[in-house]
Structure 1
Amino acid sequence: MKNLIIKILLVVLLLIVGGYALDKLMTEVPGYVLIAINKTTLEMNLWMAVLTLIVLLIALYWGVKLLRLSWRLTRPALGIRSSESAAKLANRGMLAYMRGEHDKAQRWLLRSAKKSPMPLVNLLAAADSAQALGDTGKALGFLDKAKPDFGEQSVTMALARAEIFRRANNQEARLETLLEANQQHPNSVMVQDRLCDTYMELGSWAEVREMLPRLRPQLPKDRWRELQGKLVIADLKALQTQQANEEPSEASRKLQMFWLEQASRIQQIPQVCAEYARSLIIVGDSKEAESTVRKFLRSSWHKDMVLYYGLMDSADSVAQLSHAEGWLKRHPKDAILLLTLARLSMRNHLWDKAKGYYQKSIEAGPTREAYSELARLLTSLGEHQTSGLVYRDALRLDNTDAPELPMPPMAAAKSESNEEAQPEAAEQHEENAEQAAVKS
């Protein structure tokens, strides 16, 4: 408090001294200012002129600040944004785009595009948001606003346009866009990759077969292997159609010859191997199909092929189960293998064995398939209370359709003959399992 009083007294003293000095100066130094413009003259006291100049400078300073404030307030309403505000709006738009809020994203990104340091990025993201909302016309319109000024940007915009057509399921327009881009940029690997993919979607396998050799040295090995695998799958399906009226033995021989012509790295693609096995089953050679899948799994353990083995239609399902159980030594805690064993047990009407494998599969790694199929089995066995609990657990996981498998008769309708059939099947299975173990 004492310091404050001292400061006030000092200010008052300075004002008194300053006022006295100013009065003395104005009294002892008289003068006037004369301003003449043509025939008009303006004359005033020197000190009045100085005071007027000071007031005018202060008014000018605050006037400029007021105009700036008014401009900032009215600029958004007029659709005019500064670079800083546009950058902030673009940032909000990109964050909304990443969150999947496409309605907000396309609005904010488009409004900030003109002042954005990266307008093409704004327009690409806005177009993708519009397409995500199902408005293909608006998405293409956003891309039309862009004016790429060099090759890389031009390729990017062409690829973006092709992607919009792909998501709109307009493969013809996608093909036309990519063909035009390929003419303008014949050395673009990405354009040729997408072009090859489009030919596959349209079923133009002759064009794919022509392009793949040229793409091989340019594409990553995994991508080229994927494209080559799709071509082989298409060839297998074509063989299935051609062999519809052929003798099963001849059809199987042709399939095996075709398979031997393929490189080992192509044979090791799960989808390709599964399609080959499916083709063999169609012509009635399930034994060779099983052998092919088992050979694949010996060299490369893959869950999709393990699942496929459990869904194969085999002429000898008992031997199929025995072979699969032989894999348990190396993969005792594999949930997918245990699920496959449960399904093969179901095909052999070994209900108790199937129940045990389903439970072990769930313990190793819960899946909705295992829960759903176990609950369905328990219902058929009359264990309704336990089945309800298993169904409840199944609902917590992702939805998956259960495959068609043999089921035991409902508990209320079971006959003694059905109950006696299971031990006989189990005894035969155990005998086959022992033989398979000795061979392995």
Structure 2
Amino acid sequence: MIVTVSLVLLFLMGFMAIALDFGHLFVVKTELQTAMDSCALAAAQELDGESNALTRATNAGITAGNLNNVNFQSSSWSSQGKIVAADITFKDAAYGATAAAANARYAQCQHTQSGLNMWLLQSMGAFANDATTYTNTQNVLAVAVATRASAQTTCPIPIGLKPKTGGTAPNYGFAIGEWVNMLGNGTQVNGEMGWYNLDGSNSASETKNELGEPGYCGTKLGDTLGTPGAQTTVDTVWNYRFGIYKNSDPGPSVNHPDFSGYAYTSANWKNASPQNAWSGTPAAGSDPTAASFMAKRAAFASYDDTGTSLNGGDGITGLKLNSFKNLATPGAGGQHNLYGFSRRLVTAPIVDASNKVIDYACMFMLQPLSGPTVTVQLEFRGNGGSTSSPCTTNGLAGGAAGPLVPVLVR
């Protein structure tokens, strides 16, 4: 009986090893796959073709992936190493490796979690006299690939763009980099923008809610948008995106700014149309502080490039912001960096004469609002569904057309 039980225990230990150690590997594999999925989605969101897209994508992938916990929810991944830049690679449209930002269409995150301790399988090696097969540690690999693809639904801002007369898809008569008027009050004509409620209502307070956080999601092609009444409070939530606040407003930690609040008007950006404040070079006569938004965002610049109070007015853009006094602070340690999101590059519905959504445009918010009914400008950055569009929005993936969202493909 003793001999029989001893032999049976050996088999039972093998089954226990399969249950415990293989279960351990399965849990780590699942957690690691979640981390890779997060990494790939975050990286793919940055693949907008701009010159620094791969750097931004790599940083975003590392940050998002490493927010996950691996190896029974270990925040340090059991000190076996987290995602590094070498784990993230990029592929072109034919799925060939590329280091060119303009060609990158897919982001791939691949990581091996090594040195996972085996609890019982290693003891089997003593009985089998085979330490090579029954090692003390094992490795787990996970891979994820993501790209940007059209969405069924999206989360635009409550502003509608009317095509220019005779303008057709994809750009509806607009040049990339062209500044477009957004009427705060008045009759909108072709080639201009105006306020539209995404939920189809006519409530002015709804416009403010849809422009703020978290905004309104679920807009689809074919939706009929509402035309709200007099705007009285939209200037506050609009200006939050520039890091500009009234004395009574909660600050950047609650009302998040963009990574930069630097603004553009014809006073400080002298470029002829298409002005291309997003990534262009300032023309002669522009303000000495002027640079493209890509450069200002990298420096976390504030609205007036100083981060000081607006009590003395703004000497760069020429705008007068009345009751708006406080600015988010600039620089690497400032509030634009600490609390910022990409909030000035927005998706806007393109509407027809009956206020139906026929497409989406990628727009760059140029200026804060000095009042709720004034006219400001946004820069046209292309069709929202173009692979060269810098806009990536949120929404339900799987659409045949429309703005781009990050989606897993592997």
Greater C-alpha Rg? 1
Taking structure 2 as the reference length, the TM-score comes to 0.27
Taking structure 1 as the reference length, the TM-score comes to 0.25
Greater share of residues in helix: 1
Greater share of residues in strand: 2
